[in-house]
Chains A and B, each alone.
Chain A
Amino acid sequence: QSALTQPASVSGSPGQSITISCTGTSSDVGAHNYVSWYQQFPGKAPTLMIYDVTNRPSGVSNRFSASKSGNTASLTISGLQTEDEADYYCCSKTSSSTYVFGSGTKVTVL
C-alpha cells in the first residue's frame, strides 16, 4: 500500500488560508468516509485534528476544516497563525480495513 500523496511543503503568511491536498485511490480515500488529519510538532506525538472527513474533535480550532472529493481529501487552515507551523498527515482507512497515511506536509508560516 503506497502512501497517500501530499505536497511536501505549504507556506503562507499570518492570517492567510492554506490548503493541503491528500490524493489516494478508489481503494482508500475514495472507498470510505474515514479520512483523518493529524498535526505533529517536532519530537512530539501526532494529535488528531479532523476525523471522518469533516469532523473536528472538541478543542480543535474551527480555523481547521476539511473536505473530500472523489479520491482527494483536503485540509484548510484559515487565519493562519504561527502556532500552526507543524507537519500535517492525512490518513485513510482502506477497502481491506487497513490504514494508509499520507507522505506528510510541512506547513511554514512566513
Chain B
Amino acid sequence: QVQLVESGGDSVMPGGSLRLSCAASGFRFSDYYMSWIRQAPGKGLEWVSSISPTSTYTNYADTVKGRFTISRDNAKNSLYLQMNILRAEDTAVYYCARGGHSHFDNWGQGTLVTVSS
C-alpha cells in the first residue's frame, strides 16, 4: 500500500532554515507528481509546491516562492522541501502528498514546523 512518511520538522527561529523529507513506498515513485501542502494550527489547507516525475517542472505558492525549494531523488524514493528565510507564518504541519497534476490521492501523516523566537 502507498506509504508517505515525512520527517525533519522542528522548532526554528525566524530567518532560519529547515529541510523536510518524505520517504515514499508502495508505488513507483518515479511515475508520479509529488507535492507539499501545509496547514497552520487551527487553519485550512494551503498548497505549497509540486514537482513533476523527472523534476522537469516545479511550481510554488506565491507565499513561499524564492524561499522554498522542492526536489526529489527518484533513486531514493524521496521528496524534499528546503525552506529558507523562515517566517512565523510558515508555522504549520507540512504534508507530503502524491499527486500534483490534478489532485492529491495519498497523504503522509505530516511533520510540524514551528517558527518562533
Interface residues of B in 77-117 (CB under 8 A from A): 95, 100, 102-110
How large, as a class, is the contact surface on chain B?
20 to 34
Number of A-B contacts (CB under 8 A): 59
The answer to whether the Cβ of A64 comes within 8 Å of any Cβ in the partner chain is no
Q: Which residues of A contact B102 (CB under 8 A)?
A: 32, 34, 36, 51-52, 93
Least CB distance from B35 to A in Å reads 8
Partner of A46, one of B45, B50, B61, B62: B45
What DSSP secondary structure best describes chain B's contact surface? strand
Once the chains bind, are B105 and A51 in contact (CB under 8 Å)? yes
Q: Which residues of B contact A100 (CB under 8 A)?
A: 47
Closest to B6 in A: A45
Least CB distance from A77 to B in Å reads 19
The answer to whether the Cβ of A103 comes within 8 Å of any Cβ in the partner chain is yes
Once the chains bind, are B50 and A99 in contact (CB under 8 Å)? yes
Closest to B106 in A: A48
Once the chains bind, are B61 and A51 in contact (CB under 8 Å)? no
Once the chains bind, are B62 and A1 in contact (CB under 8 Å)? yes
Q: Which residues of A contact B60 (CB under 8 A)?
A: 98
Task: Report the count of interface residues on A (CB-CB < 8 A).
Answer: 26
Once the chains bind, are A48 and B44 in contact (CB under 8 Å)? no
C-alpha gap A38/B42 in the complex (Å): 16
Interface centre among B35, B47, B59, B109 (most CB of A within 10 A): B47
The answer to whether the Cβ of B46 comes within 8 Å of any Cβ in the partner chain is yes
The answer to whether the Cβ of A104 comes within 8 Å of any Cβ in the partner chain is yes
C-alpha gap A51/B100 in the complex (Å): 12
Q: Which residues of B contact A97 (CB under 8 A)?
A: 59
C-alpha gap A99/B103 in the complex (Å): 9
Once the chains bind, are A104 and B107 in contact (CB under 8 Å)? no
C-alpha gap A33/B110 in the complex (Å): 28
Least CB distance from A99 to B in Å reads 4
Chain B residues near A (Cβ < 8 Å)? 35, 37, 44-47, 50, 59-62, 95, 100, 102-110
Report the 3 A-B pairs with minimum CB-CB distance, sorted nearest first: A99-B47, A36-B103, A51-B103
